[in-house]
A = this chain, B = another copy of it.
Amino acid sequence: MNLENVLPMDIEKRSFEIITEELGELKLDPDKESIIKRCIHTAADFDYARTMRFSDNVVEDTLAIMKNGGFTIVTDTKMAQTGINKAALAKLNGNAVCFMSDPDVAARAKEAGSTRAAACMEKVATLQGPVIIAIGNAPTALVRLDELVKEGKIKPALVIGVPVGFVNVVQSKEIIMASGVPYIVAVGRKGGSNVAAAICNALMYKLTSEQMNRK
């Protein structure tokens, strides 16, 4: 089996060409195409071509918010935070935070008998400016988020709901899609910190118009 001769700078471009070829006849909404393809790319998994759900006008509305700058992306893992492209974020004057290691979060989770990820959601209310919540790991975060939204305590600009796993993951995605927030969700069990970061990056790249060689 021979290596394909592709220059480093062209690897991502060639990957997306292969994805497009293999999608074949399946046509994706142009608005969402680059987001769906970046999820397929990050996991080498074509399941994302059929599992992704978008609330009405979510891409257009999110880009309008990002264009204004001053937004914060809140992740439920340090891995997802690490995977978000910092150059794109800086260019858009955005910020990415993760509260999972904060001592007050651990204390609150213990007191409430909840997960740290659920406790993190309560800190979102303290943030200034538009908030994008990107959940790639903990379904409990989405469940708590739904409660906080219903109580009027949080009004996220976007919820990226792509937790991965076997316990309450499928359910948590259905709950968040019914909660009235703008969302991008991959239904089913699949997702992950890498997929959450990929969606954040795909959105930002639509504005920075760059091929950034990072995943």
User: Are A215 and B77 in touch, CB under 8 angstroms?
Assistant: yes
Bound together, the chains give a CA A6 to CA B114 distance in angstroms of 10
Bound together, the chains give a CA A215 to CA B77 distance in angstroms of 9
Bound together, the chains give a CA A7 to CA B167 distance in angstroms of 11
Bound together, the chains give a CA A167 to CA B171 distance in angstroms of 35
Residues of B near A78 (CB, < 8 A) are: 82
Residues of B near A191 (CB, < 8 A) are: 44
A32 at the interface (CB under 8 A from B): no
- Beta-carbon contacts of A113-155 to B below 8 Å, as 1s and 0s? 1110000000000000000000001001001000000000000
Of B4, B11, B41, B193, which is within 8 A of A194 by CB?
Answer: B193
User: Are B215 and A137 in touch, CB under 8 angstroms?
Assistant: yes
Of B8, B41, B170, which is within 8 A of A166 by CB?
Answer: B41
A190-B44, A194-B194 are known contacts. Are A6 and B83 too (CB-CB below 8 A)? no
CB distance from A205 to the nearest CB of B (A): 17
A2 at the interface (CB under 8 A from B): yes
User: Are A197 and B79 in touch, CB under 8 angstroms?
Assistant: yes
Measured CB to CB, the nearest residue on chain B to A17 is B166
User: Are A15 and B164 in touch, CB under 8 angstroms?
Assistant: no
Bound together, the chains give a CA A11 to CA B138 distance in angstroms of 10
CB distance from A174 to the nearest CB of B (A): 6
User: Are B18 and A166 in touch, CB under 8 angstroms?
Assistant: yes
Measured CB to CB, the nearest residue on chain B to A172 is B3
Q: Which 4 A-B pairs have the closest CB atoms?
A: A44-B189, A15-B166, A18-B166, A8-B115
